[in-house]
Chains A and B, each alone.
Chain A
Amino acid sequence: VKKLDHFRAIIRALSRSENAPAPNPLRRSSARRSYLEHAAQLKSKEDITPGNRKYILSGWLRPVVNVGLILVLIMGTATGVVYAADSARPGDVLYPIDRGVEEVQLRFTSSPDRRIILLIALANERILETQQLAEIHGVDVMSIALDDYGTTILEISQIVDEEPERDELLVTQIDDELALQEERLQTIRGKVPEQAYPGLDRAIEAIHTGQNIIHPGNSSENPVSPAATPGPPQSFPKPGSSDKNPGRPPDHVPGPPIDLPTPPVNPGGDP
């Protein structure tokens, strides 16, 4: 302020130096009228559209609602993808998601008995995938499903082996399932070209290894026959299904006699 005191005279002269003419009164009133008309138009537009969102969702509520909508969208999309991935086969884009979901299911299944049931269901799914791949000549990726199948069977047998006092009925049911799965694999083997044999043979070998682990004393080639086992057969649910007894897979067809590793004499012919 002290510095500006030196300029008092200049400031005074400057303040009085306004030399702009007054605006034309007619044009001024015309501008005023236009301005107020424009304001009235804008106001009426605002009255017509009172649902102007920025006034409904004000303050902190708006970001919360936005985040909620995004979450719902993400969850909806994720559910759709998981649902679509359920029917994916090896080689499909969604197959890794299908396997990921199965891994999560297994992670949340801590009871050994429940885990066995789930693993059997997953093994059935691998066979179903193999069967579908055989039908569409997807032999080159069939080994992915078959190797996963083998790993699943070995895990089942290891769980059974860890607890020798395992429920007799459950063990019998496992035997039944393994026998049926072997039959299905043999059937598939009769319909695919030779290049698919190694994968199928590894899967069948895994069944035999599993059966030997479950029944260490019984090392015969065909240790368990479904017809020879007592008790009611149990079918296993599809992973993620709420149906506790959905029935056996509809695509189950009894295969040719089991004589591994000899290839079928009359592939594709009548059994």
Chain B
Amino acid sequence: MIRGRKEPSAEEQDLLQRSRKLDEAALSAVFDAYYDPLYRYVYRYLRHSQTAEDVTADVFRNFLEKLAAGKGPTEYLKAWLYRVAHNLIIDEVRRNKYREHEELDENQRASEPQADRQAESSITKQMIHKALQTLTGKQRDVLILKYLHGFENEEIAYTLRMNVGTVKALQYRGLQSLRRYLSKLRIFGEEDL
């Protein structure tokens, strides 16, 4: 139970109720809505597209099996899926310590922008990404869910099994650290920061 929680949307609740009955249309809708964001979330941690795809597929397999057993999410569908993904990421990282370094795979190479403008944008992204690596694991988790996946604080609290107050504190401290780091690199002008 989440303290000071926000109710999930009616649409998400309806989707969840139908999914619990293993309704094919609802399950398809869940897959279509969450596969890509989940994949990106997983990829950001594992930096390997094929592994990220496997882990994302495992999230959905887990989802189906829990539903068939009468378990699974009861109210927060999105947060539940991300929580499972988060746990699988932790398992995967533990299993594959060798992949601690960042690995640029085929997809990433193919997606590298060629034009100067794109190159500039890419450099900023990489700096942000490096800046994120300087944060603590929990600060990074909170900021990624909040600003890259559009989570509410309550959903982050559910996903990462912490209370909303902790989420807010981690968010604030994470942003402070990011600003400090990026100002040193002069990525942003002082007026921006």
Name A's B-contacting residues (CB within 8 A).
Answer: 3-4, 6-7, 9-11, 13-24, 27-28, 31-32, 34-36, 38-40, 42-43, 45-46, 52, 54
Compute how far the CA of A9 lies from the CA of B175 in the bound complex, rounded to whole angstroms.
Answer: 11
Q: Do A46 and B68 have beta carbons less than 8 Å apart?
A: yes
**In the complex where A9-B193, A36-B28 touch, is A19 in contact with B129 (Cβ < 8 A)?**
yes
Contact residue among A3, A16, A31 (Cβ-Cβ distance under 8 Å from B57): A31
Q: Do A7 and B175 have beta carbons less than 8 Å apart?
A: yes
Residues from chain B with a CB closer than 8 A to the CB of A10 are 175, 178-179, 182, 188, 193
Residues from chain A with a CB closer than 8 A to the CB of B148 are 14-15, 17-18
Task: Judge whether B139 is part of the interface by a CB distance below 8 angstroms.
Answer: no
Compute how far the CA of A11 lies from the CA of B148 in the bound complex, rounded to whole angstroms.
Answer: 10
Compute how far the CA of A71 lies from the CA of B28 in the bound complex, rounded to whole angstroms.
Answer: 47
Q: A31-B35, A31-B60 are in contact. List 8 more A-B contacts (CB 8 A).
A: A4-B171, A10-B178, A14-B147, A14-B148, A23-B53, A35-B57, A42-B64, A43-B68
17 examples of A-B residue contacts, CB within 8 angstroms: A7-B176, A9-B192, A10-B178, A16-B121, A19-B108, A21-B43, A21-B108, A22-B111, A23-B35, A27-B50, A27-B53, A32-B28, A32-B32, A35-B57, A36-B28, A36-B31, A42-B67
Task: Judge whether B91 is part of the interface by a CB distance below 8 angstroms.
Answer: no
Q: Do A42 and B57 have beta carbons less than 8 Å apart?
A: no
Residues from chain A with a CB closer than 8 A to the CB of B39 are 20, 23, 28
8 Å CB interface, B98-131 against A: 107-108, 110-111, 121-122, 124-126, 128-129
Compute how far the CA of A31 lies from the CA of B52 in the bound complex, rounded to whole angstroms.
Answer: 12
Q: Do A21 and B111 have beta carbons less than 8 Å apart?
A: yes
Query: Least Cβ distance of A188 to chain B in Å?
Result: 67
**In the complex where A13-B124, A22-B36, A46-B68 touch, is A34 in contact with B57 (Cβ < 8 A)?**
yes
8 Å CB interface, B124-160 against A: 124-126, 128-129, 132, 143, 147-148
Q: Do B40 and A18 have beta carbons less than 8 Å apart?
A: yes
Q: Do B40 and A20 have beta carbons less than 8 Å apart?
A: yes
- Chain B, Cβ-Cβ closest to A52: B70
Q: Do B68 and A14 have beta carbons less than 8 Å apart?
A: no
Q: Do B35 and A32 have beta carbons less than 8 Å apart?
A: yes
Q: Do B65 and A35 have beta carbons less than 8 Å apart?
A: no
Query: Least Cβ distance of A47 to chain B in Å?
Result: 10
- Chain A, Cβ-Cβ closest to B107: A21
**In the complex where A11-B147, A23-B49, A46-B68 touch, is A35 in contact with B27 (Cβ < 8 A)?**
yes
**In the complex where A7-B179, A39-B27 touch, is A23 in contact with B172 (Cβ < 8 A)?**
no
Residues from chain A with a CB closer than 8 A to the CB of B50 are 27
Compute how far the CA of A45 lies from the CA of B68 in the bound complex, rounded to whole angstroms.
Answer: 9
Residues from chain A with a CB closer than 8 A to the CB of B31 are 32, 35-36
- Chain A, Cβ-Cβ closest to B122: A19
- Chain A, Cβ-Cβ closest to B189: A9
Contact residue among A13, A28, A42, A45 (Cβ-Cβ distance under 8 Å from B128): A13
Compute how far the CA of A7 lies from the CA of B28 in the bound complex, rounded to whole angstroms.
Answer: 38
Compute how far the CA of A28 lies from the CA of B53 in the bound complex, rounded to whole angstroms.
Answer: 8
- Chain A, Cβ-Cβ closest to B110: A21
Q: Do B110 and A31 have beta carbons less than 8 Å apart?
A: no
- Chain A, Cβ-Cβ closest to B41: A20
Compute how far the CA of A9 lies from the CA of B40 in the bound complex, rounded to whole angstroms.
Answer: 23
Compute how far the CA of A237 lies from the CA of B161 in the bound complex, rounded to whole angstroms.
Answer: 70
Compute how far the CA of A11 lies from the CA of B132 in the bound complex, rounded to whole angstroms.
Answer: 12
**In the complex where A23-B53, A38-B64, A46-B22 touch, is A11 in contact with B125 (Cβ < 8 A)?**
no
Q: Do B27 and A36 have beta carbons less than 8 Å apart?
A: yes
Compute how far the CA of A23 lies from the CA of B60 in the bound complex, rounded to whole angstroms.
Answer: 15
Residues from chain A with a CB closer than 8 A to the CB of B182 are 10, 13
- Chain A, Cβ-Cβ closest to B148: A18
Compute how far the CA of A167 lies from the CA of B182 in the bound complex, rounded to whole angstroms.
Answer: 111
8 Å CB interface, B3-47 against A: 22, 24, 27-28, 31-32, 35-36, 39-40, 43-44
Residues from chain B with a CB closer than 8 A to the CB of A16 are 121, 125
